[in-house]
């Protein structure tokens, strides 16, 4: 699995937050409570990026890889129970 696939969940979260910024969907501009404040969005982006870099540096599986592995284990357990 390519890194862009393995970490697709983490990358998507960052891309979504960037898209919110590009579309000016922040509380200070829209005054809509369902949009995050600029500070909150910046903090969230920083945390998401730090988590992704930590996973990459330490060769940890991404969320997509974890879900795939869990699905495979569950399917294998079902097959083993049928035998």
Q: Looking at residue 70, what is its pLDDT?
A: 92
Confidence of residue 6 (pLDDT cuts 50, 70, 90): confident
Q: Looking at residue 56, what is its pLDDT?
A: 92
Q: Which two tokens stand for residue 21?
A: 């910024």
**Position 1 pLDDT exceeds 90:** no
Give the pLDDT confidence of 11-70 residue by residue, as tens digits.
Answer: 999 999 999 999 999 989 899 889 999 999 999 999 999 999 999 999 998 988 889 899
Q: Looking at residue 80, what is its pLDDT?
A: 86
Q: Rounded mean pLDDT of 74-82?
A: 86
Q: Looking at residue 81, what is its pLDDT?
A: 84
User: Which DSSP string do the residues of 9-46 spell out, in sequence order?
Assistant: HHHHHHHHHHHHHHTT-SHHHH--TTSPPHHHHHHHHH
């Amino acid at each position: 699995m390519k890194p862009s696939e393995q970490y697709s969940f983490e990358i998507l979260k960052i891309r979504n937050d960037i898209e919110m910024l590009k579309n000016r969907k922040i509380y200070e501009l829209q005054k809509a409570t369902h949009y995050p404040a600029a500070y909150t969005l910046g903090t969230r982006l920083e945390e998401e990026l730090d988590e992704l870099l930590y996973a990459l540096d330490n060769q940890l599986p991404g969320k997509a890889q974890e879900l795939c592995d869990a699905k495979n284990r569950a399917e294998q357990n079902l097959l083993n129970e049928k035998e």
